[in-house]
């Protein structure tokens, strides 16, 4: 059976890593049996990140490579029924969230001091109190450095949030009044949209991205629908 290495659940979500939540949602969507291995050791992934899977001894890291592996090995098409144009739209939305919005959301989670207490409780529950401040400081420095190399960290806060909010509004506009992101039934893209939007609806996290997502009633209802369907 596939083993899915993921961070332990936190913040009231099946997983507080959008990439881990994406993979678990894909596995559920495809009806492929799996076993969860909760770990904070990102070295369990071949690329020093999680999620990763072990499928009969084959170790794969990266949610997108895992999706490709599932499609090829289990004869699944997560976009079944889509036209080539719809596949392109789904592809572009996934990359938008994974490659840009992710970093702005990571900033709000790990860098904004106003979220320090909730983050410490969620992710460092057993750490001795004197170590919490330094660990959060190192985490914030790591994210800021990564954001700087990415480029998004070089913008003013105003510009960065304008970009993040534009991404969320694009999701809301494409979703519209449909039950799932691109139609009546969930497809692979829904694993990504849900995994990312659910992070932005965690109560009590203060950030312009969370406020914008909460204002988008169709995204809120969509996340409830996805949760009811895949994580009842």
Ligand X SMILES: N[C@@H](CCC(=O)N[C@@H](CS)C(=O)NCC(=O)O)C(=O)O
Does residue 71 bind ligand X (CB under 6 A)? no
Quick one: which of 2, 25, 30, 51 contacts ligand X (CB under 6 A)?
A: 51
The helix (run of H) or strand (run of E) holding residue 55 is: strand 52-55
Quote the CA–CA distance of 114 and 191 in Å, as a whole number: 29
Quick one: which of 42, 87, 169, 225 contacts ligand X (CB under 6 A)?
A: 42
Does residue 62 bind ligand X (CB under 6 A)? yes
Which of 180/196 has CB closer to ligand X? 196
- Residues with Cβ < 8 Å from 20, sequence gap 6 or more? 4, 6, 7, 50, 51, 63
At residue 140, what are phi and psi to the nearest 5 degrees? -65, -40
Does residue 188 bind ligand X (CB under 6 A)? no
Does residue 17 bind ligand X (CB under 6 A)? yes
Which of 50/104 has CB closer to ligand X? 50
| Listed ranges 61-69, 125-133, 150-158, 191-199: which one lies at the site for ligand X (CB under 6 A) | 61-69
The helix (run of H) or strand (run of E) holding residue 3 is: strand 2-6
Quote the CA–CA distance of 21 and 66 in Å, as a whole number: 13
Question: 162: closest CA among 198, 170, 192, 176?
Answer: 170
Does residue 6 bind ligand X (CB under 6 A)? no
Which of 17/213 has CB closer to ligand X? 17
- Least distance CB 188 / ligand X (angstroms): 13
- Residues found near ligand X in the complex (CB under 6 A): 17, 19, 42, 48-51, 62-64
């Amino acid at each position: 059976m596939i083993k899915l290495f993921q961070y332990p659940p936190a913040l009231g979500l099946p997983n507080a890593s959008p990439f881990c939540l994406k993979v678990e949602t894909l596995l559920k969507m495809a009806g492929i049996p799996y076993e969860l291995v909760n770990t904070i050791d990102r070295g369990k992934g071949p690329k020093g990140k999680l999620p990763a899977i072990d499928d009969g001894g084959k170790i794969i890291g990266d949610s997108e490579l895992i999706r490709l592996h599932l499609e090829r090995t289990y004869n699944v098409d997560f976009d079944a029924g889509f036209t080539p144009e719809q596949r392109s739209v789904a592809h572009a939305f996934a990359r938008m969230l994974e490659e840009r919005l992710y970093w702005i959301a990571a900033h709000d989670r790990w860098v904004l001091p106003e979220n320090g207490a909730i983050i410490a409780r969620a992710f460092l529950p057993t750490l001795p109190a004197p170590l919490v401040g330094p660990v959060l400081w190192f985490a914030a420095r790591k994210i800021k450095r990564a954001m700087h190399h990415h480029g998004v960290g070089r913008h003013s806060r105003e510009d960065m949030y304008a970009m993040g909010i534009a991404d969320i509004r694009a999701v809301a506009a494409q979703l519209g009044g449909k039950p799932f992101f691109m139609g009546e039934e969930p497809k692979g893209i829904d694993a990504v949209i849900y995994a990312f939007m659910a992070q932005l609806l965690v109560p009590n996290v203060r950030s312009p991205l969370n406020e914008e997502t909460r204002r988008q009633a169709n995204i809120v209802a969509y996340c409830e629908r996805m949760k009811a369907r895949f994580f009842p």
